[in-house]
Amino acid sequence: EPEVTQTPSHQVTQMGQEVILRCVPISNHLYFYWYRQILGQKVEFLVSFYNNEISEKSEIFDDQFSVERPDGSNFTLKIRSTKLEDSAMYFCASSRDSGPYEQYFGPGTRLTVT
């Protein structure tokens, strides 16, 4: 069964450094998402992406964040200058279409900012 994959599984970085989190969505899916979950808190929406542009973003997704689909398979989340409060589990998700279609999540990347 097709799955969303994410790399790395765990990333440790120093405050102020740039990080890129990578995702490979399910191959026939057209909509892509990033969510994050700070330890012990709710899963929070960051951004959705369709047709090579951002379709929706939350207030969390400020200028420090960017997303890109550099080729036909990868979908990346970049954090330009990491802060301690960016430490969280970051989940990539994809769906076949918009509207009421299931969003399938990857296993997550645990980002630790020291």
Instruction: Determine the distance from the C-alpha atom of residue 37 to the mean position of all C-alpha atoms in its chain, rounded to a whole number.
Output: 11
Find the shortest distance in angstroms from Cβ 58 to other proteins: 7
Q: Say how far apart CA 75 and CA 24 lie, in whole Å.
A: 6
Q: Contact between 43 and other proteins (CB under 8 A)?
A: yes
Check residue 102 and report its DSSP letter: P
Q: Is 101 in the site for other proteins (CB under 8 A)?
A: yes
Tell me the closest approach of the beta carbon of residue 94 to other proteins, in angstroms: 11
Please state the closest distance from residue 16 (CB atom) to other proteins, in A: 27
Q: Does 112 bind other proteins (CB under 8 A)?
A: no
Return d(Cα 3, Cα 75) in angstroms, integer.
14
Kindly state the greatest CA–CA separation across the chain. Answer: 39
34 binds other proteins (CB under 8 A): no
- Please tell me whether residue 42 binds other proteins under the rule CB under 8 A: yes
